[in-house]
Amino acid sequence: MKKKLLLLMSIAFLLVLKGYSQSMILLEGTYQGKNVYVQNPFASGGVGFCVYEVRVNDQLATDEVGSSAFEIDLRNYNLKIGDPVTIKIFHKDDCKPKVLNPEVLKPKSTFVTSTISVDKDETLKWTTTGESGKLTYVVEQYRWNKWVKVGEVDGLGIAGPNNYSFKVVSHSGENQFRVKQVDYSGQARTSPVAKFTSTRPIIKFFPVKVKDKITFEGGETLWEIYDQYGNVVKKGFGSSIDCTGLAKGGYFLNYDNTTGEFFKN
C-alpha cells in the first residue's frame, strides 16, 4: 500500500512538473560584477509564484525565488570579471517573469590603453589593460577630415595586459590611427591617437575627364567616389578605378590624403 501511495504521489508530481518544465528564460553573457534582478508574478491560478527554479552555469541557485521580485546573486559562484555566465530561469507555462536588468551580462568597453604606436613596417601595435568582456576593436585611420574604418581585431576580454597588432596602409605625409570599441550602450570608447610620418610619395590621379578608367600615379591608395549629392557610389584600394559603370556627370574623389574632382563622360 505504501509503495502504491508513493507511486501515485510521484505520478502526480510529474504531471504538475510537466505543466511548466519546458518554459525557460535563457540569459547568456559575461560577469560584470553586478547581480541580476527578476520580477516574479503569481501564476495565473493565483497559487504560488511563476518561477520555480534558477540555474547559474548549470548550478542550482540558492536564491529565494518565492517572492514577487528576487535577486540572482552572482557573487555566490566564484566568478571573475569577464567570466562567461549562463542563467536559466525556469517558470510555469501560464505566466512569465521579467528580467529587469539583462544588460548587466553584456560586455562593456572598459579597456585602458597602455601604449599605442606604428612601427617602421607600418604595423599598428597597442597594449591594453582592464578589459571586462570580449568586444571587437575597430581600427580607424584619419583621412579626408574624418575617421575611416580600416579593419577589426577581436578583443581578448581579460584584465591583461593584452597585446594587439594590425597591419595598416599609410598615405603620404602625417598619418593618424586609433582603435575603438562600441558596447551595448552604443557609446564608443577610443584609444589615444598614434601618429607617424610616411615616406610614401604624394599620389596624383588622371584624367580629370574620364571615359572608362582613373589611374593613380605614385602607387596604390585607398579611395572613395562620391556623387554630387554626397552619396558614396564606389570605394576600394588599388592603383586604378574602373569607371565604366558610373553614370555621366561630376564626382568627388577621395584618395591618398586629399580630395579631387572628375567628370565622367
204-264 CATH fold: Immunoglobulin-like (2.60.40)
Q: What is the pTM of this model?
A: 0.74
**Banded model confidence at residue 32, pLDDT cuts 50, 70, 90:** confident
Same fold, 112-198 and 204-264: yes
Domain ranges within the chain, ordered by starting residue: 23-105, 112-198, 204-264
C-alpha cell at 14: 510529474
Q: What is the pLDDT of residues 150-209, one digit of tens each?
A: 999 999 988 889 999 999 999 999 999 999 999 988 999 999 999 999 999 999 999 999
Query: What is the DSSP annotation of 128-183?
Result: EE---S--EEEEEEEETTEEEEEEEEE---SSS-EEEEEE----SEEEEEEEEEE-
Residue 62 backbone dihedrals phi, psi, to 5 degrees: -95, 5
- Residue 22 is predicted with a pLDDT of 58
User: Residue 47: pLDDT above 80?
Assistant: no
User: Residue 129: pLDDT above 80?
Assistant: yes
Tell me the mean pLDDT in the region 33-47. Answer: 89
Q: Please list the residues that pair with 189 across neighbouring strands.
A: 181
Q: What is the pLDDT of residues 62-113, one digit of tens each?
A: 999 999 999 999 999 999 888 899 999 999 988 999 999 999 999 889 999 9
Q: How far apart are CA 20 and CA 12, in angstroms?
A: 14
Q: How far apart are CA 41 and CA 70, in angstroms?
A: 11
Give 112-198's CATH code, choosing from 3.40.50.300, 3.30.70.1560, 3.50.40.10, 2.60.40.10. Answer: 2.60.40.10
Tell me the mean pLDDT in the region 116-136. Answer: 94
* Mean pLDDT of the chain, nearest integer: 90
User: Residue 8: pLDDT above 70?
Assistant: no
More confident residue, 134 or 213: 213
